[in-house]
Amino acid sequence: MKSSRGTKGYRRIVPSLTALVEFEAVARLGSFTLAAAELGVTQSAVSRQIRFLEETLDVRLFHRGHRSIELTAEGEALYLVVAESMQKIAGVFDRLATGEQRELVLASTAAFSQFRLLPRLANLKKLKPPLQLRLTTQMFTADLRHVEVDVAVRYGDGQWSDGTSTLLFDVEIFPVCSPAFLNENDAPESLEQLASMALVESDSTTEGWMDWTEWFRAVGHRPSRLNKVLRCSLYTDAVQAARYGQGIALGWSRLVEDLLASGELVRLDVATFKPADSYFVVVPHGRTISPVITQLIDWLRGDLAVR
C-alpha cells in the first residue's frame, strides 16, 4: 500500500479550485464586478482570489487599467486551460445528472456567434422538438480532441484531422458602412477612392480573416496608402464601429447579412472578393452524427424550416 505522505496530489499544484473558478469568470466577463455578480460573492472576495493566484504563481494574470482589465500572456494561457476543463466538467455533470445529453455544445468564434447564431435562436426554439444548445465562443476554435464539444463551426478548407466536416456555406467579402456615413460621404466609385476613405481595420488571423491590405491585394489593387482611422483586434468591434458611423469595414456576407437586411449596414459595390475557403460544421471523431446533430446542421445552414 502506497503512503500518501509526501504528496498532496493535485492540491500540491492547484491550491484553490475556488480561485480558478473565480479567475475563469473574471477572464470570460472581462470584469471583477460582473464576475462577482455572477458568482454571488463580493468584488473584494474575487479580487482576493485573483491576488492569491498571482502570488502563488508569481505572475500577473491581468493588466489592470483605470476602467478595464486585460489578460496577460500568462493569464491567457491559464484561461484557455481552465475554460476548456470547466466545459468538460459541465458536460459530464449534465450527462450524469440527467442520464442523457439534453443539450448540444456548439463551439464557434465570437463573430459567428454574435452575428449568425444569436439573431436566430428564437427560431431554434420554435422547432419541433426544440433543440437545446450550449454556446461556447472562442477567439479560435480549439482542437476538438481536447474540449467537450458536440459540434464546431469553422472557417477554412474543410480538411481537419480532429473531426468530420460538412459544408455550411461559402462567403463573399466586401466593404460596408452605415447609412449615416454614406449620407455624409459620397459612395466610392473606384478602389482608389475607397482607399482614401475612413477605413475601420480588424486584425487578420490564422483562420483566414483578412485585413484591408490583404483585401485590396485580393481584388487586384495596391494603393499607395490606406486611410485607416480605427484598428480593432476583434472583427465584432470593427463591424460595430461601422454600424455607428465610424467608417467603412469589411463585411463577411454570411455574418453581416442580417445587418444589411435591416438597413443598419449598407454594402458598397465597388468590389467584392470570394475566397476559396468556406464555413464548415465539424463533428469530433468518436461522436455519431445523430438525427439531432443533423437537425442542428440544417438549422445552421438555413435549410430547416420552422413549422
Provide the mean pLDDT of the chain.
84
Percent helix / strand / coil, the chain, rounded to 5? 45, 20, 40
Both 162 and 90 in one domain: the answer is: no
* C-alpha closest to that of 141 among 172, 170, 165: 165
272 located within any domain: no
Query: Residue 146: which domain range?
Result: 103-170+277-301
Both 20 and 81 in one domain: the answer is: yes
- Provide the sign of the torsion angle of the four alpha carbons 86, 92, 95, 101, taken in this order: positive
Both 194 and 244 in one domain: the answer is: yes
* Predicted local confidence at residue 190, as pLDDT: 95
pLDDT digits (tens, 9 = 90+) for 259-285: 999 999 999 999 999 999 999 999 887
Q: Which residue has the higher pLDDT, 7 or 66?
A: 66
* C-alpha closest to that of 239 among 260, 225, 214: 260
**Rounded Cα gap, residues 1 and 19, in angstroms:** 33
* Predicted local confidence at residue 307, as pLDDT: 39
pLDDT digits (tens, 9 = 90+) for 50-97: 999 999 889 999 998 877 888 899 988 888 788 767 766 765 666 566
Q: Which residue has the cell 481595420?
A: 201
Grid cell of 57 as nine digits: 504563481
Both 86 and 117 in one domain: the answer is: no
Query: What is the share, in percent, of the chain residues with pLDDT greater than 90?
Result: 45
65 located within any domain: yes
Q: Is the pLDDT of residue 2 over 50?
A: no
19 located within any domain: yes
Both 195 and 245 in one domain: the answer is: yes
Query: What is the share, in percent, of the chain residues with pLDDT greater than 70?
Result: 83
203 located within any domain: yes
Both 90 and 108 in one domain: the answer is: no
Count of CB atoms within 10 A of residue 224's CB?
Answer: 6
Q: Is the pLDDT of residue 146 over 70?
A: no
Structurally, the chain folds into a number of domains equal to: 3
Q: Is the pLDDT of residue 12 over 80?
A: no
Among 77-91, 112-126, 167-181, 289-303, the least confident range: 77-91
* Predicted local confidence at residue 89, as pLDDT: 75
Structural element, H or E, at residue 75: helix 73-98
Tell me which of 65, 100, 135 is where a domain ends. Answer: 100
* Predicted local confidence at residue 302, as pLDDT: 79
pLDDT digits (tens, 9 = 90+) for 147-203: 678 899 999 898 988 888 999 999 999 999 999 999 999 999 999 999 999 999 988
* Predicted local confidence at residue 3, as pLDDT: 40
Q: Is the pLDDT of residue 288 over 90?
A: no
Both 83 and 109 in one domain: the answer is: no
* C-alpha closest to that of 22 among 68, 65, 86: 86
Tell me which of 80, 100, 120 is where a domain ends. Answer: 100
Q: Is the pLDDT of residue 8 over 90?
A: no
- Please provide residue 50's backbone torsions phi and psi, each rounded to the nearest 5 degrees: -65, -40
Q: Which residue has the higher pLDDT, 66 or 226?
A: 226
Both 81 and 151 in one domain: the answer is: no
Tell me which of 81, 100, 119 is where a domain ends. Answer: 100
Grid cell of 76 as nine digits: 491567457
The enclosing domain of 68 has a CATH number of: 1.10.10.10
Both 58 and 124 in one domain: the answer is: no
Both 71 and 11 in one domain: the answer is: yes
Residues 127 and 295: beta-carbon distance below 8 Å: yes
Strands annotated E in the chain = 62-64, 69-71, 104-109, 133-138, 151-156, 163-169, 173-177, 199-202, 228-232, 249-252, 266-267, 278-284
207 located within any domain: yes
Q: Which residue has the higher pLDDT, 7 or 229?
A: 229
307 located within any domain: no
306 located within any domain: no
Q: Which residue has the higher pLDDT, 156 or 287?
A: 156
Both 24 and 61 in one domain: the answer is: yes
Q: Is the pLDDT of residue 238 over 50?
A: yes
61 located within any domain: yes
Both 128 and 254 in one domain: the answer is: no
The enclosing domain of 125 has a CATH number of: 3.40.190.10
Half-sphere exposure of 232 (CA within 13 A, CB side): 21
**Rounded Cα gap, residues 182 and 197, in angstroms:** 11
